[in-house]
Chain A
């Protein structure tokens, strides 16, 4: 049990850090992204020469990093180079006009944010729960509750705010039920979470059919308003202003709320005393217990909060984006959010970066069918699988490296 006090030291000087294998590996990945990007608008290089050159440099960097111990980054750079070249070939074969139509970056940015927001809410919720030591794979179900009850609440109260409040409360309530099973009854948390997901599917489907039946949710459902930032288009130069306005000028209020929640949750979890206690309960509950922290109370609060946040993601889906509810409309987003959380190392900004990535893939998947020449081709539907494939790759490539809170998933037994 004698802990080793010496650890590997990376070079202390800046130059050492610059040529460290880790940096070279990251540089390789960056080169891959650039190689692909130059083939796209606005640069739209039409010959594969430049991208291939960049890809070769990336492969070299990747091999360098790989042989010096950075296997994941190095391997990622090499694989990314091949993917980049492949995509570049496809891009150069597509009509430039189609490319221009698909890769409207401002629209893509706005769409990315829209797709990412439910993920962000759920991932933040999952973060609180897991940091306190309770695995929450029922984010999907809690999100779905929020989606339905947000719509129903908005309908009943006639205001979007009522919808938000009721939706959030429904997620918190479901989470509380889950908390009882996971914490007090010490259920297997994954089995319990799956049960909660079934339950949410059944409850929302049942109530939806009972209340709204064949007609569906009303057309004029009160929706969460968009935030119009017209001043953006006035920013010189004109091109930049338009770009900014198209990207950020008409985003929904809840998107902005999700962005504000990022630093708020960071401070709450990592800078406050209460956050310290939450994290201690997730790392070593017995140690927290011996200094008088209530493990149960902390976990209950964290799990309930996670349900509330995940439900907000669902509320955005139903009354902030689609303006309707349909059965099982969350379509696996809760699980993608969980993957984003793991990808991001259980930290808010890391998880958000992953959510952006997944959101981008969904946004792209929506637009990519426009690339093809024919109207009725079937293959564009495959792009709908893109976010899930990406999640699979992320989970496969990253999991081993990221370390969850030490007591994550282990029920605590008071003695």
Chain B
């Protein structure tokens, strides 16, 4: 039962970065023993706000009060000493060290000078985990335990330091639904033991399940704080986005032709030598978009890498427009009619220090008319670039501008433009809208449909179910390296979610 007194209060917190106001005079309070969700889209300012509370950022204006006492938090050390603990979205764990070492780091029990008292550390960890009801192996190396376990280690880190307030930043982003439920159980136990919890998320259904109160942020401003009773998904979504959310993209029905991408019984290994793709077979036909849904880490990345020639195929066959390209290099497969929009535009899609013209030629710089016998013709690059930049409405510079000068959305337009203007038979799109604002997302979606209407076979890999469902003509689910099911686009999200966790196995 939540107490009315706030244990944490934020008044008028403002934080500016160059060119943007991340948090704009935000008020927030956390009551004793409650789970308070902080809801908002990507970029709404939730993480920034909590990073301020944890001392990783400094607020430009505003006040933080703990137990009604205004305090200054300059660093995580201050926050920890005030009983504030944080579990970040990207875990702050050291893979090669053990669970116990990670938990006691910075507050190590010592004996005889500075010698680490590992036995004491182990005991404390075991005691804590028993107290809060979850099993943990203190001597296991963090790199060897599962993601759900790693998250528990992060929680234990906070509890070890006597946290009363626990902040969790998008904790379910990396969990399966089953692990998420286990997490919620742990959170309930924690509140029973007297902790107060802030839960950052952009997932409406989860927030409605676990939170006592919900605060919605939009573009750095607080919209409202509502109790769970009476809150609905539509209402919250409207507060988050500010308008009616359009969930479907308009597109004419698909008229698929012959298969342009044929994958037969593909086996691919990951870095550790374990099977990542475990006998996957599917086709993508001309004029259709096939969406591949799945929780991150189930083999999608390795599949895309194998199809684009960047990873070795252990067994199986890949055919592109009828031609066998199994084991072909990235160079060959790109020149045989594959288009590839990679997952990370800044690390894999673009050379930021190259001009836009040079970037636009990245996948065919050594083919006519860009080059002949090894001799490059920069002027032709620029000419072609001008056309593509105009056609794809890229703002922020011309052919000679460096790619680093463009915004994320425009950078992605360059990548999309490059691939589409090569008129590929097959287009692989891996998380094409990650980190983009709404306008850019709409642009990319439109172009993908355009490619499909133009006769390309599009394979869309995405972690956002909404995107998959709204764009695809067929939906495949990948789970632990196998296709767990094939669904029509009007399938429910719960059905997909269950398949993604292996609960349903429908014949493909």
Contact = CB atoms under 8 A, between A and B. Distances in A.
Touching chains A and B, CB distance < 8 Å: yes
A377 interface: no
A286 interface: yes
B160 to A, nearest CB: 10
B116 A273 contact: yes
Contacts of B274: 4, 6
A238 interface: no
Interface in A247-306: 267, 271-277, 279-280, 283-284, 286-293
B298 A293 contact: no
Main secondary structure of the interface of B (DSSP, over half): loop
A293 B105 contact: yes
B434 to A, nearest CB: 15
A158 to B, nearest CB: 36
B145 A3 contact: yes
Given A3-B146, A7-B144, A273-B110, A286 B105 contact: no
Interface stretch (B87-95, B305-313, B395-403): B87-95
Given A7-B144, A8-B273, A293 B56 contact: no
B94 A5 contact: no
B295 to A, nearest CB: 7
A290 B114 contact: no
Contacts of A277: 105-106
B272 interface: yes
Contacts of A214: none
Contact of B105 (A5, A8, A291): A291
Contact of B92 (A1, A6, A7, A287): A287
B150 A284 contact: no
Contacts of B108: 273, 276
A5 B76 contact: no
A107 B296 CA distance: 61
Interface in B90-122: 91-97, 101-102, 105-108, 110, 113-116
B328 interface: no
A2 B276 CA distance: 11
Contacts of A3: 143-147, 150
A271 B116 CA distance: 6
B192 interface: no
Contacts of B273: 8
B114 A288 contact: no
Contacts of A406: 95-96
A290 B150 contact: no
A280 B98 CA distance: 11
A406 B298 CA distance: 25
Contact of B76 (A273, A279, A290): A290
Chain B interface size, as a band, is: 35 or more
Interface string A1-37: 1111111100000000000000000000000000000
Given A276-B101, A290-B76, A415-B56, A5 B144 contact: yes
B96 A283 contact: yes
Interface in A122-180: none
B146 A272 contact: no
B92 A293 contact: no
Contacts, number: 96
A2 B105 contact: no
B106 A2 contact: no
B174 A292 contact: no
Contacts of B116: 271-273, 275-276
Nearest to B114: A272
B60 to A, nearest CB: 14
A2 B93 contact: no
Contacts of A2: 146-147, 174, 176, 295-298
Given A1-B147, A2-B295, A289-B76, A283 B92 contact: no
B369 to A, nearest CB: 38
Interface string B115-143: 11000000000000000000000000001
Max chain A C-beta neighbours (<10 A), residue from B57, B86, B92: B92
Nearest to A287: B92
Nearest to A7: B144
Contacts of A284: 92-95
A272 to B, nearest CB: 4
A415 B96 contact: no
A288 B105 contact: yes
B77 interface: yes
20 contacts: A2-B147, A2-B295, A3-B147, A3-B150, A4-B272, A5-B145, A8-B273, A271-B116, A272-B115, A273-B108, A276-B101, A279-B94, A279-B97, A284-B92, A284-B94, A287-B94, A292-B75, A292-B77, A293-B105, A293-B106
Interface of B: 54, 56-57, 75-77, 80, 86, 88, 91-97, 101-102, 105-108, 110, 113-116, 143-147, 150, 157, 174, 176, 272-274, 295-298
Given A7-B272, A271-B116, A279-B97, 19 more contacts: A1-B147, A2-B147, A2-B176, A4-B274, A6-B274, A274-B114, A277-B105, A283-B95, A283-B97, A284-B95, A287-B91, A287-B92, A287-B94, A288-B105, A289-B76, A291-B80, A292-B77, A293-B106, A406-B95
